[in-house]
């Protein structure tokens, strides 16, 4: 992901123009989101991806042993972090 906040601001303006909906840009700390708990893990306690140099983008879960796409996992955790800033749609 690019670090330039201006790029995201412009993307929101474009999306707002195309959808005619009011959008809000929410920034969250993405630290360790790709190494966080496996969302959808079938085991308790929930596992985390075991990343290696050979398995950086896709890694096995420490609990259920399933392969996890670490980029998708990061996006899911970022979305969860954003939820506390979002207002429910009336
Ligand atoms: Zn798992």
Q: Which residues contact 8 (CB under 8 A, 6 or more apart)?
A: 2, 25, 27
Q: Looking at the predicted structure, is the pLDDT value of residue 70 above 80?
A: yes
For ligand 1, the distance from its centroid to the CA atom of residue 35, given in whole angstroms, is 12
For ligand 1, the distance from its centroid to the CA atom of residue 37, given in whole angstroms, is 8
Among residues 40, 42, 73, 41, which one has the least CA distance to residue 56?
A: 73
> What's the whole-number mean pLDDT along residues 56-79?
94
Q: Looking at the predicted structure, is the pLDDT value of residue 1 above 70?
A: no
Name the pTM for this structure: 0.74
In the chain, where the domains are located: 1-29, 31-90
Percentage of the chain modeled with pLDDT above 90: 60
Contact 51, 59 (CB under 8 A): yes
Residue 68 φ then ψ, to 5°: -120, 130
Q: How much is the pLDDT for 64?
A: 97
Q: What is the mean pLDDT of the chain?
A: 89
Write out pLDDT tens, residues 10-46.
Answer: 999 999 999 999 988 888 888 999 899 999 999 999 9
> What's the whole-number mean pLDDT along residues 60-75?
96
For ligand 1, the distance from its centroid to the CA atom of residue 73, given in whole angstroms, is 11
């Amino acid at each position: 992901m690019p670090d330039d906040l201006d790029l995201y601001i412009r993307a929101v303006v474009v999306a707002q123009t195309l959808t005619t909906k009011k959008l809000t840009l929410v920034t969250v700390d993405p630290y360790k989101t790709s190494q966080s708990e496996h969302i959808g893990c079938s085991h308790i306690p929930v596992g985390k991806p075991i990343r290696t140099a050979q398995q950086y983008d896709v890694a096995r879960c420490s609990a259920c042993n399933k392969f996890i796409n670490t980029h998708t996992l990061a996006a899911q955790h970022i979305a969860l972090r954003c939820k506390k800033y979002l207002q429910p749609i009336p």
